[in-house]
Chain A
Amino acid sequence: MTTGANAIAGPRVRSLAASTAGAALRGLALGVFAFAILGPLANLVLWSVAERWYTPFKLPVVYGFRYWEAVFRPTGDAMASLGTSIEIALLTVVFAFALSIPAGYALGRLRLPGRVLLLILFMLPQAFPSVAIYMNVARIFYTFGWTGTVAGVVAVHTVHGLVYSVWIAAAAFAAIDRDLELAARNLGASAWRTFLTVTLPLATPGLMASAVFIFLESLDEFTGTFFVGVPQVSTLPLLLYNASMGGNYQIASITALILLVPSILFMLVIERFLNPQVLSRIGR
């Protein structure tokens, strides 16, 4: 009886110990990972409330919100720039959709010779170091009077983010079950109506996923905005860039934290659309 119980308990105890060790190991690994991901961000938060911080002190000597006040001061234009940034990012998403829904449909669904080359073509604006390009874009825009307009900036951001919107839209359309469309057609719906009532709603999750990337890309963009938008259009990354390159860490950190807000809100709204079926087809 006792021996039998032991015989059963032995392995169980051992496996319990093993699983505890495993859990500890997992916890440790997760801790290290959390440190790697959040550590740099914690640093950002620390700097945003550090009023004095220098060697040999490991943590700020004086904490305070002086720099937050500076960012939100009446003459500071952080909030106005933030508004402009969000406005541009949203318009960029809309404009990119207008271009990439038809293009994505064609690339995802129709037989196009040279399809791969087209896909690569959309990747190119993402790849070329941007200063040289934007200078020339500005030159072209001046002749049309498009500089200093929100629309001009939106156009530049759209081209830059097109790789995400087109590739993902193509994936979204390719992932749609044809039978649903056929059913609609058989019931007498026109091709156009079928597209609007069946295809497009089915592709929406994928399109929303691409919206995340376009939005973020636009929010991150600095060089194009400068050449095409400044001085009439000023965005938060411009502010951040100056503060950061100039070593004004508090201002830069606060600006960066402000910039995170719309990104995370946007992500929360859109997260439920990030659907594996679509993500798996991007760029294929």
Chain B
Amino acid sequence: MLVRLTFGSLLSAATLILAGPAGAETLNVATAGDQNMVDYVKDYLGPMFEKTHPGVKVVAVGTGPGDAGSQKIYEKLSAQKQAGAAAWDFDVVVAHQKMAGQMVKEGLLDKYRAGIPTGALVTRDTAENALGADVGGFVMPMFHSQTAIAYNADMVKTPPASYSELVEWVKKNPKQFGYNGIKGGMSGVAFVTGWIYAFGGNTDRLLKGPYDETTKAAWDKALADLKDFNRNAVITPGNAGTLDMLNRGEIAMGPVWVDMFYSWQAEGKLPPSMKLKLVAPGMPGQPMYYAIPAKAPQTKLAAEFIALATSPAVQAEGIVKRFNWYPGIDAQHLQGKLEPATWQKLFADITPEDLSSKGKPFPIAPYFNDILESYEKKVAN
């Protein structure tokens, strides 16, 4: 009791003195993903929005890379919902597919898309469906990204064009290929998922369902082969770990996110001789979503913010030109907003045809979990 009292009074005193800038005109944006996502909001989008909305301050918070970052957003919102809070902490959240699906299911998000002018600019399937969960109306894609195999063209003259060729290549060049397993970030997960698409069979069903829990039994051979494959591969620490080893020339090849790859190269952390290859039958990619929490304090401002962020001009200048992402809205709306050179740079190594034929989504959520857990059981442990 005494503690409660002293603690309480200390607390209220401290809050009085130290209360942060949580005034009425703050727009809190929480974004999962790497640092570049936070920078994008902080340096580019935020100032632009503040200019058109005098008196509003945009505060961006990063919650960490990968699904872990989205998970933290989910946990925060879920905890606030369970505690019965009247207004939640975030006005806009940027999350990955898996968590977006779950947040929609648990009623944590607002159905705002029909109300913003840019809502009609996206027709891609991923705006409606996130790993099998119906998210139509609740999300706007911020951008799409894609995984691919990065390789050092000085060390590898003819890169493998498919998973089978990659297996042969790794046999001939042991410890020259590295990926980050499945616990260190999504590029490794994407590589493993692509492996199942290549050798597990029935990709269509994994992508569209319906879910059948006996499907995973068919992956045993593919996973045993992967375990074998791992003997000659290097397991790197994280998405950044793979790029890092490519940077120092310790491995010659590894799966990476295309946008991270271009950013690292632009920042001088990868040799200029590095190139990308999207191998057959394909590797997964995914969008990041803008969403508004169901009890966001500033719903209207949040919607305006997202409308700005998904406008063709911002998508062209910010998403494509500055940050090397593929646009979130349909590409034809960007025509005329970009110089051809910028557009071509984005598609230099991976052509639009490659992207449409070999850029796959991740499987529906239950299969996704099955792939990860089967890997843990049969490959990692």
Q: Do A and B interact?
A: yes
Chain A interfacial positions (CB closer than 8 Å to B) = 50-56, 61-62, 73, 75-77, 87, 91, 95, 98, 135, 138-139, 142-143, 145-152, 154-155, 226-227, 230-234, 238-239, 241-243, 245-251
Tell me if A56 and B47 are in contact (CB < 8 A): no
Tell me if A142 and B249 are in contact (CB < 8 A): no
Is residue B19 within 8 Å, beta carbon to beta carbon, of the partner chain? yes
Contacts of A232 in B (CB 8 A): 19-22, 89
**Sample of 25 A–B contacts (CB below 8 Å):** A51-B268, A52-B268, A54-B247, A54-B268, A54-B269, A55-B249, A61-B268, A73-B43, A91-B14, A95-B10, A142-B80, A142-B85, A143-B83, A143-B84, A149-B14, A151-B15, A152-B11, A226-B63, A227-B76, A230-B63, A231-B28, A231-B61, A232-B89, A239-B62, A249-B269
Using A247-B260, A247-B264, A248-B36 as known contacts, list a sample of 15 further A-B pairs with CB atoms less than 8 Å apart, ordered by residue number in A.
Answer: A52-B267, A55-B247, A87-B18, A98-B6, A139-B83, A143-B83, A143-B84, A148-B20, A149-B11, A150-B20, A227-B72, A230-B61, A234-B61, A247-B241, A248-B35
Contacts of A138 in B (CB 8 A): 75-76, 79
- The 0/1 profile, CB within 8 Å of A marked 1, for residues 50-90 of chain B is 00000000010111110000001001100110111100011
Is residue B291 within 8 Å, beta carbon to beta carbon, of the partner chain? no
Is residue B298 within 8 Å, beta carbon to beta carbon, of the partner chain? no
Q: Known: A55-B248, A139-B82, A142-B79. Contact between A241 and B271, CB under 8 A?
A: no
Contacts of A251 in B (CB 8 A): 35
Is residue B239 within 8 Å, beta carbon to beta carbon, of the partner chain? yes
Contact of B19 among A91, A149, A241 (CB under 8 A): A149
Tell me if A54 and B270 are in contact (CB < 8 A): yes
Q: Known: A245-B64, A245-B238, A246-B34. Contact between A227 and B42, CB under 8 A?
A: no
Contact of A242 among B18, B47, B64, B85 (CB under 8 A): B64
Contacts of B354 in A (CB 8 A): none
Tell me if B76 and A242 are in contact (CB < 8 A): no
- The 0/1 profile, CB within 8 Å of A marked 1, for residues 98-131 of chain B is 0000000000000000000000000000000000
Which residues 194-251 of B sit at the A interface, judged by CB distance below 8 A? 238-241, 243-244, 247-250
Q: Smallest CB-CB separation from B18: which chain A residue?
A: A150
For chain B, the count of residues having a C-beta within 8 Å of the partner chain is 56
Q: Smallest CB-CB separation from B6: which chain A residue?
A: A98
Q: Smallest CB-CB separation from A158: which chain B residue?
A: B7
Q: Smallest CB-CB separation from B91: which chain A residue?
A: A231
Tell me if B271 and A242 are in contact (CB < 8 A): no
Contacts of A139 in B (CB 8 A): 79, 82-83
Contacts of A91 in B (CB 8 A): 14
Tell me if B72 and A226 are in contact (CB < 8 A): yes
Bound complex: CA of A231 vs CA of B270, how far in Å?
33
Which 8 pairs from chain A and chain B are nearest by CB? A247-B240, A52-B268, A55-B249, A142-B83, A246-B34, A232-B20, A151-B14, A151-B11
Tell me if A53 and B269 are in contact (CB < 8 A): yes
Tell me if A242 and B35 are in contact (CB < 8 A): yes
The residue in B47, B75, B267 that gathers the most chain A C-beta atoms within 10 A of its C-beta is B267
Contact of B240 among A146, A230, A246 (CB under 8 A): A246
Contacts of B89 in A (CB 8 A): 147-148, 230-232
The residue in A87, A145, A230 that gathers the most chain B C-beta atoms within 10 A of its C-beta is A230
Bound complex: CA of A75 vs CA of B241, how far in Å?
28
CB distance from A78 to the nearest CB of B (A): 11
Q: Known: A51-B268, A54-B270, A87-B18. Contact between A75 and B79, CB under 8 A?
A: no
Contacts of B79 in A (CB 8 A): 135, 138-139, 142
Q: Smallest CB-CB separation from B59: which chain A residue?
A: A231
Bound complex: CA of A51 vs CA of B269, how far in Å?
8
Tell me if B268 and A245 are in contact (CB < 8 A): no
The residue in B6, B79, B247 that gathers the most chain A C-beta atoms within 10 A of its C-beta is B79
Tell me if B34 and A248 are in contact (CB < 8 A): yes
Contacts of B84 in A (CB 8 A): 143
Q: Smallest CB-CB separation from B33: which chain A residue?
A: A246
Tell me if A151 and B10 are in contact (CB < 8 A): yes
Contacts of B255 in A (CB 8 A): none
CB distance from B298 to the nearest CB of A (A): 13
Contacts of B65 in A (CB 8 A): 242, 245-246
Is residue B30 within 8 Å, beta carbon to beta carbon, of the partner chain? yes
Contacts of A98 in B (CB 8 A): 6
- The 0/1 profile, CB within 8 Å of A marked 1, for residues 28-49 of chain B is 1010001110100011001100
Bound complex: CA of A121 vs CA of B38, how far in Å?
39
Bound complex: CA of A246 vs CA of B239, how far in Å?
8
Bound complex: CA of A159 vs CA of B186, how far in Å?
34
Contacts of A243 in B (CB 8 A): 35
Contact of B268 among A62, A231, A234, A238 (CB under 8 A): A62
Q: Known: A54-B269, A241-B64, A242-B38. Contact between A230 and B76, CB under 8 A?
A: yes
Q: Smallest CB-CB separation from B60: which chain A residue?
A: A231
